[in-house]
Each structure stands twice: as C-alpha cells, then as structure tokens.
Amino acid sequence: MARESESGQPIEPVYGPESLKGWDPEEKLGEPGAYPYTRGVYPSMYTGRPWTMRQYAGFGTAVESNARYKQLIANGTMGLSVAFDLPTQMGHDSDAPIAHGEVGKVGVAIDSIDDMRVLFDGIPLDKVSTSMTINAPAAVLLLLYQLVAEEQGVSADKLTGTIQNDVLKEYIARGTYIFPPKPSLRLIADIFKYCRAEIPKWNTISISGYHMAEAGATPAQEIAFTLADGIEYVRTAVAAGMDVDDFAPRLSFFFVARTTILEEVAKFRAARRIWARVMREEFGARNPKSMMLRFHTQTAGVQLTAQQPEVNLVRVTVQGLAAVLGGTQSLHTNSYDEAIALPTDKSARLALRTQQVLAHETDVTATVDPFAGSYVVESMTDAVEEAALDLMRQVEDRGGAVEAIEQGFQKTEIERSAYRIARETDAGERVVVGVNRFRLDEEEPYEPLRVDPAIEAQQAERLKRLRAERDQGAVDAALAALREAASGDTDNVLYPMREALRARATVGEVCNLLREVWGAYVPSENF
C-alpha cells in the first residue's frame, strides 16, 4: 500500500532529479542565513553553538517551581520555560470560585508580584533567557517579570526571553482566551510598542502552531494557520502606526516536532521560505531579521502514550532529531511520563539529557543543513509549501485570520484531520506502539508526581495576607488609571498596568477590570 505523508501527500518509494523538475535551487534554496532562509536563518547554524535547550516546567507553588528551575539550570538547561496553571492562564486569582480544583495543577500559580518574586528567587534574570507560555494575560506576566528584575537590579534592556502572547490560536485550538479578538489584538500591539521602548531584546510574541498540531492539525495546516495568524499580527501592528522593521525582528514562532522526521524537516524549511516571501513582498520589510522565521520547537505531547511510557524516550529522541535537522532555534523535549502526570525530577533530567546527546554525541551539529539537496526532502518541502499556501489563500478569501476564525474555518479543518487520525488509529492502519500493536498483557506500575491539593488553600491565604498588607488606596488609584487607558484607544495600557502590579494589584484584579471594559469572548455556535 502506498504511503502518505501526515499532510496527505503521497510518499514515493524512490525520489530522483525528475521529482524536482522545474526546480530552481537558487530561488528555493539559497545559502544558509540568506533569503529565503530555506536552509536556516543563520549562516553557521549549530556549527558555532547548539540550539537553546529549554525545559518547560512549572507546578504547584512558586517555591516548588523555583526549586525545579534551579535543578534544571544545574543540569545544563540554557533557558527556562514557565508553565502557568489554568487560573493564571485565564486571568483568575487562586481564590476565585472558578479556580477551585485547578490551582497549581498544570503549571505554577502566580497571583501577584509576591509569587513572581518567589518564582525567580536566586535566579539571575540578566543571565537566563525565560520563555513564558502565557497568552491572554501575557502583558501582566511580562510586567511582573520586569518588576522582579528591577528589584534584582537588572535593567529591562538586559532581559531576554519570550512571551507566547498568541491569542488567535486560542480561539482556534486551545481555549484559554479572555477578551474578544479586537481588544486582544490592541493589547498585542501595545505590547509590541512597549517592548520596543522598554524591553528591546524581548521576543514579543511566539506565534504558535504547536497547539493546533496537538489538536490534530497536519503539518501543512500547522504552518498555514500559524503563518496566517502571524500575518494578522503584523497587519495589526502596521495599522497601529508601527513600521514593520521596528517590531518584526522580535517575532518568533512555536512549532511541534512529530516522529515523521522527513516531513517535519520539510515543514520547517517550507515555513521559513513562505514567511520570508510574505514579509518582503507583502509588507515591504527591508531588515533581513524581519524576514527570518525564528522558532522554538517542542516534541509532540499528543504522540506520547500512557502505555509502556518508557517507549516515549524513543519517540522524543526521534522528534528532537527532527527539530534539530529542521533548524530550530530552541527546543523542549517532553519527559517520557507526561502522558501520565507531571514529570518527575528524573524524567525531566532524562529529557534534557536527550538534547545533550543530540548536541554532543552525534554529528548533526557538524554541518549546516544536513538534508539540503535531498531529493525527497526538497520534494516534500515543495509539497508542504504548496498545500500550506493553498490553505493560506482560503483564509485570505474569508477575510483574514480573524474572520476565518469567526467562521470556524481553521477549527473545522483541524477537527476533520483529527478525526481521520483517530479513525486510522482505531482501525490499526496507523501503528501506535504499545497501543494498537506490540501491547503488553499487563502494564508495569508507575508512581507519578502529584500536586498537593493543600496548595489552593495556601495560595488563598497568601492572597488574604497581600490584600491586608498593601496600600489599597494606591491599588485603587492605579487600577483607575488602567481603566481610563483601556477605555480609550490611544494610550498604551501597559504603563498603568505596570504601576498597578507594582502596587500589588493581583493578576485577577487586572484581568477582571479589562473584562469589564472590553468584555469576554464567547465563541460562535454557528459552526
């Protein structure tokens, strides 16, 4: 039976020069570090230094997460990646009724500057690059980070890192949105402006296809819908009066790496090529850095299995290799036990060791772009690019990313793909080792890491003490200034927001005020 790629294109048994008929290597390949960046965004790639090794971590209280971060740094992590719990992601305080049962469960609970201070205690913020997986409240968490750095004596121009800050994919695939699209895009434009003036080395957004892929998107859908969202963000910033070259160099992307190595490498190459052309031809970018698609990669959580979890070590290694061969700028490798529970210290260390083996014991860092000129990879790159461009045209035909979201286009396409994958897995046509083939009669016992349910009460007590200790008059005045800025459309809301947080306003108080002014997003039921 003929094989198909994840995006649905046929995979030929043999590839040769004839598969690249009409192919112009100068136009499509170029040199590494040169337009259209098919071969990588930097001339030397990993021959100079390896990718940034990040580990996504955060659970329970700030104290527990701080201890995990220090362990990761001691084990050789080059960048931190913060996971926040669901209440924080949704802009709720830990003592809010809606937060009950979720505090500290899938990430760390951050309610105020007090928690952020503890989270980064003893971690020099001028020497560590920090990525924060936060979207709707991204501005709030970024400002808390800046304030804590300020207390450490670290000026904002020394801070490096990324906020995810990609709310459009929340409407498509993930669901941790707060505000409707229009004010959400206004907030993102304010972040772009603020960071250009105040935190110039910060990556202001990580436009994410990862969560779409986890929801079932094919590689072609993943890059098509991610780049379409990126175009929407660029248009928003340009419409707000910014020159494209003033903010585009700080844009970054976030993709998944699956076990299908060849198509994943092709996907990354196609994404770089498409983005370079869009930025030059549609937006008139002149700075080469504005055309570079720089991206972080995380191995595919959705491909991990609770059955025979040690097999996930193999999957993660293959996925990590795909990301490296595809030219990622930073990488998080999942722990083998994540399909069961939060990673243990040992499994998190093994995940990091996986990257270190790839970087230091293989020869993939010895040469730039090892797959360049491969008949199969170049052919698959063209096929993924063509499929992605077709989907991007369909988004444009619907009026752009926001209009397409309102019409349910991206969500419907992803759900159709997810259904196909589930059907093939159930039928045994798609082999999942340990699940529908090569199973064990009895699984070995495993003791997962568990979050103490007492954390919720502890966080509530911390909030009670904070509200009793702070200068409530100063908080009220700062929140009033934020309300005034949010009610208009000319003032940058991050400046009054920063002062409210400095006065010890909580994450929930800031987000609830913005809910009152901007409203809360309710998805359409028309699709």
CATH 3.20.20.240 assigned to 38-426 = yes
Chain centre to alpha carbon of residue 139:
15
Q: 232 with 220: CB under 8 angstroms?
A: no
Residue 433, beta-bridge partner list: 437
Distance CA 263, CA 371 (A): 12
Stretch 184-213: mean pLDDT: 97
Q: What is the DSSP string of 216-265?
A: T--HHHHHHHHHHHHHHHHHHHHHTT--HHHHGGGEEEEEEE-S-HHHHH
Q: Tell me the pLDDT tens digit for each residue of 238-290.
A: 999 999 999 999 999 999 999 999 999 999 999 999 999 999 999 999 999 99
Distance CA 152, CA 514 (A): 29
Mean pLDDT is lowest, of 11-25, 37-51, 203-217, 291-305, for 11-25
Taking every pair of Cα atoms in the chain, the longest distance, rounded to a whole number of angstroms, is 74
Strand bridging mode 295-299 / 330-332:
parallel
Stretch 171-195: mean pLDDT: 97
Mean pLDDT, the chain, rounded, equals 94
Per-residue CA distances from 395 to 82, 282, 412 (Å): 32, 16, 12
Phi, psi angles (nearest 5°) of residue 26? -70, -40
Sign of CA dihedral 345, 347, 349, 352: negative
Domain residue ranges in the chain: 38-426, 472-518
- Residue 525: pLDDT above 70? no
**Alpha carbons within 13 A on the beta-carbon side of 231:** 27
Per-residue CA distances from 392 to 186, 274, 378 (Å): 23, 10, 21
Q: What percent of the chain shows pLDDT beyond 90? A: 87
- Residue 314: pLDDT above 80? yes
Question: Whole-prediction pTM value?
Answer: 0.94
Q: Tell me the pLDDT tens digit for each residue of 424-475.
A: 999 999 999 999 999 998 888 877 777 788 999 999 999 999 999 999 999 9
63: enclosing H helix or E strand: helix 62-74
Stretch 84-99: mean pLDDT: 97
- Residue 1: pLDDT above 80? no
Instruction: Give the number of other CB atoms < 10 A from CB of residue 356.
Output: 15
Residue 410: pLDDT band with limits 50, 70, 90: very high
Q: Tell me the pLDDT tens digit for each residue of 69-78.
A: 999 899 888 7
Phi, psi angles (nearest 5°) of residue 492? -80, 120
Strand bridging mode 3-4 / 10-11:
antiparallel
Write down the pLDDT at residue 164: 97
Q: What percent of the chain shows pLDDT beyond 70? A: 99
Mean pLDDT is lowest, of 31-40, 341-350, 482-491, for 341-350
Distance CA 486, CA 491 (A): 8
- Residue 405: pLDDT above 70? yes
Strand bridging mode 205-208 / 202-203:
unpaired
Residue 38: pLDDT band with limits 50, 70, 90: very high
| Helices marked H in 90-135 | 113-119
Residue 308: pLDDT band with limits 50, 70, 90: very high
- Residue 483: pLDDT above 90? yes
Stretch 134-163: mean pLDDT: 97
Write down the pLDDT at residue 29: 84
Q: 414 with 173: CB under 8 angstroms?
A: yes
- Cβ density class 26-59: b for 16+ within 10 Å, e for less: eebbbebbebbbbbbbbeebbeeebbbbbbbbbb
Residue 526: pLDDT band with limits 50, 70, 90: low
